[in-house]
């Protein structure tokens, strides 16, 4: 058996700094600053934060800045408002579903 030593990618001091700085300001800018500070890639810092269980993925937004809503969520709202199961409604386009949800919420 050969003697192999494990190469440590992050020292304990580095991990402490990463944890404290990211916990204080969880943002992509913090990740980029830490990557530059430790001469690592941003992806490497994100992977380390994920391993530590403290990484918070940014919320997805549309081009207009509103949160992304899935069609399944819209259909569930419509089904709850109408009280009838409509399995093929998922095939409607998103704009129509949003209009229907708006119409149902304004009427009731």
Total domains, the chain: 2
pLDDT of residue 2: 59
59 occurs within a structural domain: no
Q: Say what the pTM is.
A: 0.59
Mean pLDDT for all residues in the chain:
88
Per-residue pLDDT of 32-49, as tens digits, reads: 999 999 999 999 999 999
Per-residue pLDDT of 1-34, as tens digits, reads: 556 777 788 999 999 999 999 999 999 999 999 9
DSSP code string of 72-101: HHHHHHHHHHH-S--GGGGGS-HHHHHHHH
3 occurs within a structural domain: no
20 occurs within a structural domain: yes
2 occurs within a structural domain: no
pLDDT of residue 1: 54
């Amino acid at each position: 058996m050969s003697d192999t030593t494990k190469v440590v990618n992050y020292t304990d001091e580095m991990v402490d700094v990463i944890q404290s700085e990211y916990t204080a300001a969880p943002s992509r800018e913090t990740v980029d600053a830490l990557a530059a500070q430790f001469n690592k890639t941003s992806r490497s810092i994100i992977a380390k934060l994920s391993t530590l269980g403290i990484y918070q993925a940014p919320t997805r937004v549309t081009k207009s800045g509103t949160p992304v809503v899935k069609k399944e969520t819209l259909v569930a709202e419509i089904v709850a408002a109408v009280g009838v199961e409509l399995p093929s409604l998922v095939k409607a386009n998103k704009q129509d579903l949003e209009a229907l949800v708006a119409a149902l919420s304004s009427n009731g």
